[in-house]
Amino acid sequence: MKRVLIENITDKMVLAKEVCGTSGSVLLAKGTLLTASMGHRLKNWGVQFVYVDGEEESTETGSVPAVSPEEVRKQLEDKFSRVIGNEIMKKIFAAAYNFKINRNT
């Protein structure tokens, strides 16, 4: 199994792990035969990488690019722009920000 960035998905790759959305729902099941167009759709859904069948590559080619905390904040502010005034959404924003920052370290 190897981790592949979404922009590197090619036709006929096979998912080794299911892909879940932010709500936890399964977007694509394990064993799904991928296409480049599915990669574009996954990118629109905010998925950065998937696990596919095959030999593990070096971490240099399979790693997720580092994103600065400022860029993470900007991306989340764009997504939360319509609801950030809500107190509960502020807490969700903070949790999402902390999750993304901790995941990149």
Together in a domain, 41 and 6: yes
Q: What is the pLDDT of residue 89?
A: 92
Distance CA 51, CA 97 (A): 24
Together in a domain, 44 and 77: no
- Comparing 6 with 102, the larger pLDDT belongs to 6
The CATH number assigned to the domain holding 7 equals 3.90.105.10
Together in a domain, 48 and 73: no
59 belongs to a structural domain: no
pLDDT tens digits along 13-70: 999 999 887 777 888 999 999 998 888 888 888 888 899 998 765 444 445 556 788 8
- Comparing 102 with 91, the larger pLDDT belongs to 91
Number of domains in the chain: 2
Its pTM stands at 0.52
Task: State the residue range of the domain holding 96.
Answer: 69-103
Together in a domain, 74 and 33: no
Q: What is the pLDDT of residue 61?
A: 46
61 belongs to a structural domain: no
Residue partners of 92: CB distance under 8 A and separation at least 6: 80
